[in-house]
Structure 1
C-alpha cells in the first residue's frame, strides 16, 4: 500500500515524483548495461507485424494483470515500458488521476489489445501509470483479442521481434508443420531467409529432375523428409555438429561448407569427410 499524508493533492504530487525518480534510475541503469529494450515500451504495430495478423474479436470487459501490459498502440513518449512517466509533460493530468484514485472516484476501464498473454494500451496510458505507482496488481479493461499467424510467446525485445518476423516470412514461403516446424528453429533471424531459399532451390532442382510440379505443402514435407533428416543424420555421424548448435543451424553451416568445398549439391561420405577436415582446421 502507498503511504498517505491525509492530503490527496500532496500525496498525488508525491506519487508522481516517486514514479519519475524510479523511471530516471531505471533508465540510467539500462543505459549503463547497454540494454534499452528493458525500459522502452513495446509497439503493438511492430509486434503484430512480426507475428502476422489474422483476425480480431472483442473479448469483453475483464480484470487484467498490470504486469502483462507491455506496450501501446501508439509509440509512447510520455511513459517507459513499466508506464512510469518519462518527463513532466503530462504531470497535471497524471496527478488529477492520482487524486481521483486516492479519493475513491470511479475510474473508467482502459482499452487494450490482447496478443497472447501480452496487452497493449489503446486508451488509458495515464490510468495504467497511476495504478502501477499505487502498487495495484490488476486493472479493469475492455479487451480486443488479436489472432496471429505465429504464437505470441517469447517476445522480450527487438531481437525477438526480428526473429519472429523472419520466421513468419519463412513459414509463409515454406509451410512446415508439426515436427518439421519445430526442427527448423534457429537463433540468427536472417537464417530463416536462408532456409526458405535453400528449400525452394531444392524443390526447383527436384521438380526439374522429375518433370512434375510440387506445391508448397509437398515441398516442405519432402525437403524435410528427403533432405533435412538424412543430412542431419550424416552430420551427427560425422561429428561435425557443435555441442550447443541447433539442428537447422548445423545443417546450414555444413551445407554452406560443402558447397564452398565441392561446388555441388550431392551428399556422400567423401563430402562429409572434406567438411570434417575443414571443421578440424578451423578449431
Structure 2
C-alpha cells in the first residue's frame, strides 16, 4: 500500500502522478534496452481470440482474479499500458475519484472480464484495475466469462506473439494433427507454419498419387506425422543434425535442403551425409 499522508484527496492525486511517472519511465527503459515496441502495449482481446480461434464462451460468475493475470482489454488499449498505468492525463479525473473512494474504504463494484486460458481481458473496470495496481493490491473481484479457443493461450506475452499463434491456427486447419502430434509440431517463426503447411500438402498429394485414391486432410496429417515426420526426426537426432533448432525447425530445414541439393524426396544415408556437410 502506498504511503498514506492522512489527506485522502492529496494521496489520490499523488497515486495518479506516481502511476503516470511509472508509465513514462517504463517506456523510456524499454527504448533504452531496445525491447520490442509492443512490450508495454496491452493485449487486444479481439486480436487474441481471433488468433487463437473462437469456439465458445460461458459465464462463470463472480470470482477473485489475480491482478497480474489481467493483461488486456476489449476496447481501452490506448488509455493504459500493459500494467494498467495511465498513458495520458485524459483519464485523470475519473481515476482519482476511484482512488479516493478506495482510500476512504468505500465499496467498489466488481469489474467484468473475459478469461482466455490463464489470461484476463477487461470488458468493464479499467480504471478500477489501474487504481488497484497503484495501491499495491494483488487481487480484485470480477465477473468472469470464460472463452474457449481452438489454440491455448500459452506463450502469449506480447502482441507480436499473436502472429505466430494465428499462423499456427491456420496451419492446423490445413493439417489437422491429432493430440500428441499437435503438441510436438512447434515452430518459432510464424511464416514457417505456412511453409510447413505447403510441404505437408505436397507430401499428401504424392501419397494420393502413389495410392491412387483420394485421402482426406485428417488422414494425410496423421500419416505424414507417423510415416514421415517421426522417422525423419529420429534420423536427424541420431545423425546429430538438430543443432539448436526445435525438432520441427530442423525437419523443415533439412526437408528443404534435401530437395534443393539432391532433388529427391527420399531419406537415406547419402542424403544425411550431404545435409551434414551443409550445416
Partner residue in 1 for 2:273: 273
Q: How does 1:229-268 map onto structure 2 within 5 Å?
A: 229-242=230-243, 244-268=244-268
Aligned residue for 1:143, secondary structure, equals strand
1:13-60 Cα deviation digits (max 9, x unpaired): 111111111111111101111223331111111111111110001110
Partner residue in 2 for 1:187: 188
Q: Give, in whole Å, the separation in 1 of the partners of 2:133 and 2:276.
A: 56
1:242-264 Cα deviation digits (max 9, x unpaired): 1x221111111111111111223
More moved, 203-212 vs 157-166: 157-166
Aligned residue for 1:98, secondary structure, equals helix
Partner residue in 2 for 1:154: 155
Q: Give, in whole Å, the separation in 1 of the partners of 2:263 and 2:171.
A: 25
Partner residue in 2 for 1:163: 164
TM value normalised by structure 2:
0.95
Deviation for aligned residue 1:194: 1.4
Q: How does 1:108-187 map onto structure 2 within 5 Å?
A: 108-187=109-188
1:181-234 Cα deviation digits (max 9, x unpaired): 222112222111111111111111111121111112211111111111222233
Q: Give, in whole Å, the separation in 1 of the partners of 2:150 and 2:121.
A: 18
For the aligned residue pairs, the C-alpha RMSD in angstroms reads 1.4
Deviation for aligned residue 1:176: 1.1
Deviation for aligned residue 1:73: 0.5
TM value normalised by structure 1:
0.93
Deviation for aligned residue 1:75: 4.4
Partner residue in 1 for 2:23: 23
Q: For the Cα contact (< 8 Å) 2:76–2:126, is it kept in 1? A: no
Partner residue in 1 for 2:210: 209
Deviation for aligned residue 1:100: 1.1
Instruction: Tell me how many residue pairs correspond in the alignment.
Output: 278
